[in-house]
Structure 1
Amino acid sequence: MFIRSYLRASTIEQDANRANDALEQFAADHGQVVASTYTENASGTEANRSELLRLLKDARKGDVLLVESIDRLSRMEDSDWRMLKTTIDSKGLRIVALDLPTSHLALRVTQGDEFTSRMLGAINNMMIEMMAAIARKDYQQRRERQAQGIAKAKSSGAYKGRPIDSDLHKRVRELLAANLGIRATARHAGCSTTTVLKIRDQVQQLS
């Protein structure tokens, strides 16, 4: 059994490797080892994540995609999630999440047990869909609360905006000046493509 773990954090300030030990221990507890690890700092709302795409490219039928939770895999809009899930299914990958007990059985079902595999697949797919929907709703609610908080702070004159990460901005500007593309710049700088586009637009406005 080939287990590919996927680790993600939303921003460069967060530690994407935080759950690595937990994933490796989980695999060991089930008599398995993590054979390959893919780590990145990117928003779960984005579909074009370089390490996730690399994992999908490397994957073979029967491999396990191990994550801490489904929200590490997706906080995407429904249409983007559908495309990702279709790709995962077409590759023959089995999703296993630490916080989704129904998925853990995938590590113990033999390939010859067709009935159990099909039943497990049906139940697990339903739970994965539910968790993905919850992850998206949680993201939207947090964004709404954040917007409400900012609006309230602005009305009282207390809002100062998010502090600018000068080192990150400098790095992005340097990469863009070296003619790297948006995605390549985001990958090397360890930030989202949205951040790169904002910095690029700021540079263009000043030039």
Structure 2
Amino acid sequence: MALVGYARVSTLDQDSTTQIERLTAAGCTKIFSEKKSGTSQKGRTALDECLGWIREGDTLVFTKLDRLARSQRDLHNMVHELEEKGVSIMALDQAIDTRTAAGKAFLGMLAVFAEFETNIRKERQLEGIAKAKKEGAYTGRKPTAQAKRAEVETLLSQGMSKPKIAEALGISVASVYNVLKAA
């Protein structure tokens, strides 16, 4: 009957130290941590390890529901899988403790809001990109290889092989071919 912690931050420049300290203070004897987006369960290796490690009678502890999942489907699938294993869920910052009926009900309600928040953020991001494009401020990534067209053509005319050109210019061999195809 162990308390098992899970900490997650979304990007590499974020720090999970505060979450880990809080999970430790809550009594977690094992903590899994990772830096991955929470919009999907796919590719979250620490979460997969945690779900594989946790045993019947244990409680999975995290600071906030959105640290575990932002998708209702993923959350409900995880909860179902954990319940079948006999594992409880507890969020430190919210009144979620699936060992109680109220905790189970609150979990379902918060799952809806976590996914809603993600969808609203996506909408705002798309609106911002559309506005920036309209104003000419957002043009996307500049083509790196196409900007080196003259250099590619010069090196090729000097008899250099395509792989050597790619290495010399810091681009891929496929990019060399794409530059030549576009010429």
Q: Same fold (TM over 0.5)?
A: yes
Residue-pair matches, total: 147
List aligned pairs for 1:126-165, cutoff 5 A: 126-159=105-138, 161=140
Q: 2:67 aligns with which of 64, 72, 82?
A: 72
Q: Which residue is equivalent to 1:58?
A: 53
Q: Which residue is equivalent to 1:45?
A: 39
Q: Which residue is equivalent to 2:19?
A: 19
List aligned pairs for 1:85-104, cutoff 5 A: 85-103=79-97
Q: Secondary structure at the match of 1:13?
A: coil
Q: Which runs of 5+ in 1 are unaligned?
A: 28-32, 107-116, 164-202
Question: Larger relative CO (CA 8 A, sep 6+): 1 or 2?
Answer: 1
CA deviations 1:24-69 (Å, max 9, x no partner) are 22x1xxxxx2110100111111223111111111111111111010
**Partners in 2 of 1:84 and 1:145 — Cα distance?**
28
TM-score (norm 1): 0.64
How many Å apart are 1:204 and its aligned residue? 8.9
**Partners in 2 of 1:100 and 1:82 — Cα distance?**
17
Check conservation: 2:58, 2:88, Cα contact below 8 A.
Answer: yes
TM-score (norm 2): 0.71
Check conservation: 1:17, 1:39, Cα contact below 8 A.
Answer: no
How many Å apart are 1:17 and its aligned residue? 3.1
**Partners in 2 of 1:153 and 1:89 — Cα distance?**
46
Q: Which residue is equivalent to 1:83?
A: 77
How many Å apart are 1:18 and its aligned residue? 3.4
How many Å apart are 1:6 and its aligned residue? 0.3
Amino acid at match of 1:90: E
**Partners in 2 of 1:148 and 1:35 — Cα distance?**
44
In structure 2, the CA distance between the partners of 1:126 and 1:161, relative to structure 1 (3 Å rule), is farther
Check conservation: 1:3, 1:64, Cα contact below 8 A.
Answer: yes
**Partners in 2 of 1:152 and 1:126 — Cα distance?**
40
In structure 2, the CA distance between the partners of 1:152 and 1:6, relative to structure 1 (3 Å rule), is same
In structure 2, the CA distance between the partners of 1:73 and 1:102, relative to structure 1 (3 Å rule), is closer
Q: Which residue is equivalent to 1:184?
A: none
**Partners in 2 of 1:71 and 1:59 — Cα distance?**
20
Larger Rg: 2
**Partners in 2 of 1:134 and 1:10 — Cα distance?**
18
In structure 2, the CA distance between the partners of 1:162 and 1:83, relative to structure 1 (3 Å rule), is farther
